[in-house]
Amino acid sequence: MTRKSIRAALSTQERADILEEFNDPDSDIQVLIITPILGALGTDMQMCCNKGMLQLWCWNANMVDQVLGRLIRIGQKRFVEWHLYTVEGTIYEKYERIIWRKHSRQMAAERNIPPQIKGELGIVLMYEFIRVLYNQPFNRYLWEVIDPDIPSYDSQYLRRAADKISRIALWAYQNYTECELLAKKHPLDLYACAMRMMHHEDCNEGELDLTAEWLYLNADAFGWDVAKDQYIPRSERVKISRAIKSQVRRIKKIKKSSGSKTRARPASSPASRPAKGPRFVLKIKNSKK
């Protein structure tokens, strides 16, 4: 087996000669090594090749598409197979996070999706399109939301939560007329919703039938105790919300009353230092659903 490579030091004619020899059916060249920058544009490799490997990632998904397009061209008679290599637990996964984040926004602007799918739910759907198009093992949306440390990028927990994000995206695509309820949801709300779906399956040993009402009520980061990984019932959430609002009103009232009675004192006086305000402790009792 003979291999050849195209390098930046070669002239334009030398590069063309190597490509012509590689595309010749009678040639003994079986492997061609080329960088994405040199081979992403204006090169035809489809005549005698249908398999490729991408080991040097580009910062732009459009450039990746250009590289993949070297084999998917007019004249290709065989099924094309590409392998995109990454090294788990390395900085390459950070690169991917940046690439797919930019590409999801571009796809959201270019693709004709139903107008009812708005806001963050549309971004989730774009990540699911990317997962299908590039045959990714799981939806990469949570990489953007929580930005985990490098060893956790491919953890089983994150993969399982990503599967629930894929279910939400599939539901949105199939039930787009009911998606307006979720238009104002925050990324962390959808992450909390995925955790509740996992919690429901752990407790009930079965998949949950998604509805717009269930997603609207449960896509709420405030209703999930992340520290204890458990659901906070709605009645308990109402109590917490009322206690917090009452506490805020008390603080504002105390600040207003203390501000009206304060007299100006010399800077050297200890009393002129900012007084410590009253301290409040809010005790929250978590109970299971």
Q: Which CATH superfamily is domain 2-84 in?
A: P-loop containing nucleotide triphosphate hydrolases (3.40.50.300)
DSSP codes joined into one string, 23-90: T-TT--EEEEEE-HHHHSSS----SS--EEEE-S--SSHHHHHHHHTTTSSTT--S--EEEE---TTS
Q: Rounded to whole angstroms, how far apart are CA atoms 54 and 257?
A: 67
Q: What is the pLDDT of residues 51-76, one digit of tens each?
A: 888 888 888 888 888 888 888 888 88
Closest by CA position to 40, among listed 21, 57, 24: 57
- What residue ranges of the chain are covered by domains with CATH 3.40.50.300? 2-84
Q: How confident is the model at residue 3 (pLDDT cuts 50, 70, 90)?
A: confident
Helix ranges (H only) for the chain are: 12-22, 36-39, 61-68, 92-110, 120-133, 141-146, 156-174, 187-204, 212-218, 234-261
Q: Rounded to whole angstroms, how far apart are CA atoms 195 and 90?
A: 26
pTM exceeds cut of 0.85? no
Q: What is the pLDDT of residues 106-160, one digit of tens each?
A: 888 887 788 888 888 999 999 999 999 899 889 999 988 887 776 677 788 888 9
Residue 171 has pLDDT above 90, yes or no: yes
Q: What is the pLDDT of residues 203-259, one digit of tens each?
A: 776 677 888 888 888 787 766 555 555 556 656 666 666 776 777 778 778 877 776
Tally of CB atoms within 10 A around 145:
18
